[in-house]
Structure 1
Amino acid sequence: MIPSFVIGIAGGTGAGKTTVARELTEGAGDSVTRIPLDNYYKDLSHLDMDERAEVNYDHPNAFEWELVREHMEALMEGQHVEMPQYDFTIHNRSETCTTVQPTDVIVLEGIFSLYDERLNDMMDLRVYVETDADVRILRRIRRDVIDRGRDLDGVIQQYLNTVKPMHEQFVEPTKKHADLIIPEGANRVAVNLLADKVHAEINGTTTELREASSPGRPE
């Protein structure tokens, strides 16, 4: 099976892009695959824990882009891949991988999903999820402290020192590559239209995204 449609979903930390991606994949069974870009942070096993904690994970250089491209190309050619798994509690990849099979629709999701030119060329639809910065930082704090066991002060300092400046320098500019901009995170109208598009691709029919979902790709 060779996937017929590739979607990239980008946006700042806490914007809601993972929620959007999950809503597109849930209920689609084996027809849609979600690829979290976070799994492709570089392997830092050569560094100790303290050194790994100091790495700027919000910079494009933190990712192993060649492996992302290789895996996306393989899936598009109908081949399975062994996707690495990332453990945020140790700032490194885990020792296990997940076997990912090719499907009708592939969703690549992460802050830099629209950053790499070669990946953009592989995509049929590029989506940017845009949410107010105050909402994003609150979501980030809740996620990192509650779900990932991080220290609150450390999360706040990381946001101010790296997350915010990296967003402004590298993430937000990728919005210009988007075909579709979803305002306020998981905007229900836009998500429903996207879901309709995904189901149409799965069923082999065609459908156009309505203008009501968002502005088109900005100039």
Structure 2
Amino acid sequence: MPSPAVIVLIGGGHSAGKHTVVEEINTQLVAIPNVKTHTIELDSLLIPDCDATLGPSRYDFPCVLQEITSLEGSLDEQKKLVILIPGLYALHDRELRHMAAMKVFIDCDPDTRLNRWIQQDVLKEGKDLGSLLDNYLKIARPEFNEFILPTKEFADVVLPSEQSHLGVSLICDGVIPLVDGSKGTTKVKKQLYPRFGVETDLNIHTENYDDQKNQYYDLS
């Protein structure tokens, strides 16, 4: 069931720009009176001594749910809490998806993600390029194709990485009604409205995966 807090899940591949989007969402939301934000870093919540190197089984989803419950128990009646959860598998867990008000998938092509990864780890942090490429080819790329990309179908919003600064305003427009004067929270409706004065070339449309699945917005 939906959480009394407003939960926004932000999924996507390695170096897709999830944390950049979280920072931009946070910047816009904290400017709203009586709104408090909290970020749960899913990728830091790994199960200790887990043998799995690929897939969602190495992530401690019960710990995430426990942290959400703890945050809900400390809610300030004078403020509305928005919980932002970025991570490779942010859209994987069914219970977490059911609690979320909005589910976002950051769509970014593989070449761009690899280039960002190299810039961060090799050029900035001085890590070995050969080891990074080996990790990408043997772990990150197959993991994305097999496990992470399929979670895109659960997204309410598919946000192209190169236009994230425009899409964030649309995402916030979907969240703001949930924090504006209501005690309870429901899932965001399948419609987003750009703010007045924001020029955007994003084309919002829906796409069916099949007759049995929900629609999502592809902002590309």
TM-score range, shorter chain: 0.7 to 0.9
Distance 1:146 1:104 in 2: 37
Distance 1:153 1:11 in 2: 24
| Root-mean-square deviation over aligned CA pairs | 3.0
Distance 1:160 1:190 in 2: 30
Aligned in 2, Cα 1:170/1:196: closer, same or farther, shift over 3 Å? same
Counterpart contact for 1:176–1:217, Cα < 8 Å: no
Distance 1:112 1:21 in 2: 15
Q: Structure 1 residue runs of 4+, over 6 Å off?
A: none
Equivalent position of 2:47 in the other structure:
42
* Bigger shift: residues 70-79 or 121-130: 70-79
Aligned in 2, Cα 1:70/1:26: closer, same or farther, shift over 3 Å? same
Equivalent position of 2:55 in the other structure:
59
Distance 2:47 2:163 in 1: 29
Aligned in 2, Cα 1:17/1:214: closer, same or farther, shift over 3 Å? farther
Letter of the 2:192 partner, please give it. Answer: L
Counterpart contact for 1:36–1:110, Cα < 8 Å: yes
C-alpha distance after superposition, 1:59-112 (max 9, x if no partner)? 2122122211211233234369xxxxxxxxxxxxxxxxxxxxx95211111110
5+ residue gaps, structure 2, are 183-187, 194-201, 211-220
Aligned in 2, Cα 1:55/1:185: closer, same or farther, shift over 3 Å? farther
Aligned in 2, Cα 1:103/1:59: closer, same or farther, shift over 3 Å? farther
Equivalent position of 1:197 in the other structure:
174
Counterpart contact for 1:9–1:114, Cα < 8 Å: yes
Equivalent position of 2:19 in the other structure:
18
Q: Deviation of residue 23 (structure 1)? A: 0.5
Equivalent position of 1:32 in the other structure:
37
Distance 1:212 1:20 in 2: 19
**1:75 maps to which of 67, 71, 90:** 71
TM-score normalised by structure 1 residue count: 0.73
Equivalent position of 1:177 in the other structure:
154
SS at 1:187 equivalent: helix
Aligned residues: 188
* Bigger shift: residues 146-155 or 63-72: 146-155
> How high is the sequence identity, in percent, across the aligned residues?
27
5+ residue gaps, structure 1, are 45-51, 81-101
TM-score normalised by structure 2 residue count: 0.73
Equivalent position of 1:156 in the other structure:
133
Distance 1:204 1:141 in 2: 45
Q: Deviation of residue 55 (structure 1)? A: 6.8
**1:209 maps to which of 185, 192, 202:** 192
Letter of the 2:67 partner, please give it. Answer: H
C-alpha distance after superposition, 1:122-148 (max 9, x if no partner)? 111111110111101111122222455
Distance 1:215 1:132 in 2: 21
